[in-house]
């Protein structure tokens, strides 16, 4: 009998992971045993002497690999949130094995022949629609993995996948090391003129923890560098810190990512061509709502043209401020945040520092819980009896309106060493329904918000508050996903997956919602109407910049993966040519330069970064339905959104599901208005 907690039934509330018992040495043997069990499950399907049917082939395939999914979800979620050398070494060792395991199943000719036999008879089997969709999805998965290739090409595909798995891991590890390595240490308080006291206090705490007591430390982490660029009057230091951010992975050192990018782009191109596609972008987008690479380029260009005009107007307005102050220079990329803040103050009499006192972290959290309750009736009960992987993590039981259990929700707020940058939603277990039981999801949000300093609370920026609502939208999708087949439950296409998250951002800024959660952290008084009006009136502020930097990154992603010949050039030269071709102004950079573009080299967004904006068409159109109804908590619309998008979104064609909710196809008009482009 094993004593490895990863391999035992979790004797915990709701069978949550016993993090207090799991140690690093448990992971590898758990992976090995989980893969062995998964192979046995597949072998049982292959060796079944009966004619393949949906019941003896597709259903057991859909139920296979549950233990491996459990071990992998725990390990890789902790790798992202708690990375250290030990975890990284395990990942380097286990990732190629997982790639090989997946390929051995995905390209197994005996298994594929059984699936194909059922698939070719699908019209005559009397399958109900969900069973038919699951069958079609499985068949398509195996074709896209290379099951139809000859043995020589299969062998090459396995080499490619193994290589990509290791390169992706290296890219992410390099980026974390680069982010942690750069430090801007300031010794003279006069160099911090303009910086609000809260940010100075956070920088002093960072410095103390790093051994620079009595000084101030700034890093390329978002909570550090953005406030510094917004407020610090010292232009030279703004330049230094911004370079520390945008040169990550591009310093020609042991953490340089340029060679990795070249290898990954070429391997992905080779993979796409083996599968019959001209480019890797064609391969990815063929499975999305957009369908073709040309459709994505056309969409991005429709947004790019008006946004570029707006950003030029924003630049001109900021330059006027600099000239009026006799700055004596033309604005550069590291000046943008500083003068944008001045422009916001000038146009709207609004300063970011006015908003923060009303965005206490716990109040923002309670605000998103309130919105979910108003829309869907669900409630959140804090639990202290559920094990967590770090003391910062909070846990809640999520309940239906009638008190029935719905999910367990983990929230990990604070920035720390070893945590990947950004914010994301993930899960330790997905919803599962079998003949014998119904297993409910374990969903988690991970953020990088400032840590509390002594007895001072954490006050969020407006962007951070919106981000919390955004990730909570993904969590709602996780809570509500339902379906009899794992393969299609919750399976939204890549360019629709951000609809559940981005629609929640709309509620975050609604005056009616702000009144509920935006309360002064000292007095408890709700945000005054005059400040709410300023926020509402400034909704289009800096939207040219935000749209252009995003679309520039989306186009860069698409350009990398639209290559149809092996890339042997210079990564930076390629990036510059891509931006010059679109006329990106020299005063700004794309949101992500290639060498730290985690989404497309260390995440699941290769040839898919456009998906955020594509989904914004959907979320802007969807929220306009609530606004037009006269009730932002419209119960009938919320019920439809929960059913057709959140619960059953993967059960039919995504556009048909959207139209069942909305009653019509989406329009781009609400998006253009929201971003001030029309």
Q: In 10 A of CB 117, how many CB atoms?
A: 13
d(CA 32, CA 527) in angstroms, rounded, equals 54
Q: Quick one: CA dihedral 61, 63, 66, 72, positive or negative? A: positive
Q: How far apart are the C-alpha atoms of 574 and 624, rounded to whole Å?
A: 40
Report the distance separating Cα 592 and Cα 260, nearest Å.
16
Closest CA to 594 of 644, 536, 546, 555: 555
Cα 490 → chain centroid: 16
Half-sphere exposure at residue 65, Cβ-oriented, CA atoms within 13 angstroms: 15
Q: How many CB atoms lie within 10 A of CB 569?
A: 10
Q: Give the separation between CA 582 and CA 572, rounded to whole angstroms.
A: 16
471 is catalytic: yes
Token representation of residue 319: 């330059």
Which residue do the tokens 């998006």 mark?
A: 671
Within 8 A by CB and 6+ apart from 534, the residues are 348, 349, 350, 354
Distance of CA 523 to the CA centre of its chain: 35
Helix (H, G, I), strand (E, B) or coil at 380: strand
HEC sequence for 532-578: HHHHHHCCCCCHHHHHHHHHHHHHHHHHHHCCCCCCCCCHHHHHHHH
**Contacts (Cβ under 8 Å, ≥6 apart) of 427:** 73, 441, 442, 443, 444, 478
The DSSP H or E segment spanning 427 is strand 424-429
Decide: residue 411, CB within 10 A, 0-12 exposed, 13-18 middle, 19+ buried: buried
The per-residue DSSP string of 142-204 comes to HHHHTTTS-HHHHHHHHHHHHHHHHHHHHHHHHHHHHHHH--EEE--GGGGTT--HHHHHHHH
Residue for token pair 């040519």: 577
Which of 314, 394, 471, 510 is catalytic? The answer is 471
Closest CA to 165 of 109, 103, 251, 249: 103
d(CA 549, CA 588): 8
- Residues labelled as active-site residues: 471
């Amino acid at each position: 009998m094993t004593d490895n907690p990863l391999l035992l039934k979790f004797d915990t509330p709701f069978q949550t992971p016993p993090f207090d018992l799991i140690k690093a040495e448990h992971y590898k043997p758990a992976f090995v045993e989980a893969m062995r069990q998964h192979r046995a499950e597949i072998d049982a399907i292959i060796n079944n002497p009966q004619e393949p049917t949906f019941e003896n082939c597709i259903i057991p395939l859909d139920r296979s690999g549950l233990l491996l999914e459990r071990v992998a979800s725990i390990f890789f979620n902790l790798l992202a949130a708690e990375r250290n050398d030990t975890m990284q070494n395990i990942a380097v060792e286990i990732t190629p094995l997982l790639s090989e395991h997946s390929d051995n199943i995905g390209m197994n000719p005996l298994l594929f022949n059984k699936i194909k036999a059922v698939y070719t008879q699908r019209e005559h089997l009397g399958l109900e629609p969900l069973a038919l969709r699951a069958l079609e999805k499985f068949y398509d998965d195996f074709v896209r993995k290379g099951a139809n290739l000859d043995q020589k090409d299969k062998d090459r595909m396995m080499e490619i996948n193994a290589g990509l798995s290791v390169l992706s891991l290296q890219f992410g590890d390099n980026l974390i090391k680069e982010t942690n390595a750069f430090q801007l240490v300031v010794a003279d308080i006069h160099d911090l003129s303009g910086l609000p006291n809260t940010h100075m206090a956070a920088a002093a705490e960072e410095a103390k923890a790093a051994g620079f007591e009595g000084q101030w430390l700034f890093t390329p982490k978002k909570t550090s560098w953005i406030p510094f660029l917004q407020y610090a009057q010292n232009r030279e230091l703004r330049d230094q810190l911004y370079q520390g951010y945008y040169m990550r992975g591009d310093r020609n050192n042991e953490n340089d990512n340029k060679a990795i990018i070249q290898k990954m782009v070429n391997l992905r191109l080779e993979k796409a061509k083996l599968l019959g596609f001209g480019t890797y972008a064609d391969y990815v987008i063929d499975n999305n709502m957009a369908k073709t690479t040309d459709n994505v380029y056309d969409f991005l260009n429709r947004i790019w043209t008006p946004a570029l005009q707006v950003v030029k107007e924003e630049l001109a307005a900021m330059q006027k401020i600099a000239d009026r102050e006799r700055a004596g220079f033309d604005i550069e990329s590291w000046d943008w945040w500083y003068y944008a803040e001045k422009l916001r103050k000038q146009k709207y009499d609004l300063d970011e520092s006015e908003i923060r006192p009303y965005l206490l972290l716990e109040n923002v959290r309670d605000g998103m819980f309130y919105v979910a309750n108003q829309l869907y009736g669900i409630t959140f009960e804090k639990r202290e009896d559920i094990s967590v992987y770090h003391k910062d993590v909070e846990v809640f039981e999520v309940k239906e309106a009638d008190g029935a259990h719905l999910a367990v929700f983990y929230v990990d707020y604070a920035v720390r060493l070893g945590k990947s940058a950004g914010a994301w939603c993930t899960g330790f277990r997905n919803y599962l329904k079998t003949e014998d039981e119904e297993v409910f999801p374990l969903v988690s949000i991970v953020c990088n918000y400032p840590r509390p300093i002594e007895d001072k609370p954490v006050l969020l920026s407006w962007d951070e508050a919106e981000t919390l609502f955004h990730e909570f939208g993904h969590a709602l999708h996780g809570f509500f996903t339902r379906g009899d087949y794992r393969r299609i439950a919750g399976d939204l296409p890549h360019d629709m997956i951000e609809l559940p998250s981005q629609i929640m951002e709309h509620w975050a800024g609604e005056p009616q919602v702000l009144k509920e959660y935006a309360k002064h952290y000292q007095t408890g008084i709700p945000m005054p109407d005059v400040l709410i009006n300023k926020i509402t009136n400034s909704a289009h502020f800096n939207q040219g910049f935000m749209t252009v930097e995003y679309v520039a990154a989306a186009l860069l992603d698409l350009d990398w993966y639209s290559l149809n010949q092996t890339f042997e050039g210079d990564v930076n030269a390629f990036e510059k040519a891509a931006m010059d071709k679109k006329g990106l102004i020299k005063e700004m950079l794309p949101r992500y330069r290639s060498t730290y573009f985690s989404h497309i080299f260390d995440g699941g967004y290769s040839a898919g970064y456009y998906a955020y904006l594509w989904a914004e068409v959907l979320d802007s159109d969807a929220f306009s339905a609530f606004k037009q109804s006269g009730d932002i908590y419209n119960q009938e619309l919320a019920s439809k959104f929960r059913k057709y998008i959140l619960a059953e979104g993967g059960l039919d064609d995504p556009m048909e599901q959207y139209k069942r909710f909305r009653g019509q196809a989406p329009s781009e008009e609400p998006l253009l208005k929201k971003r001030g482009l029309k």
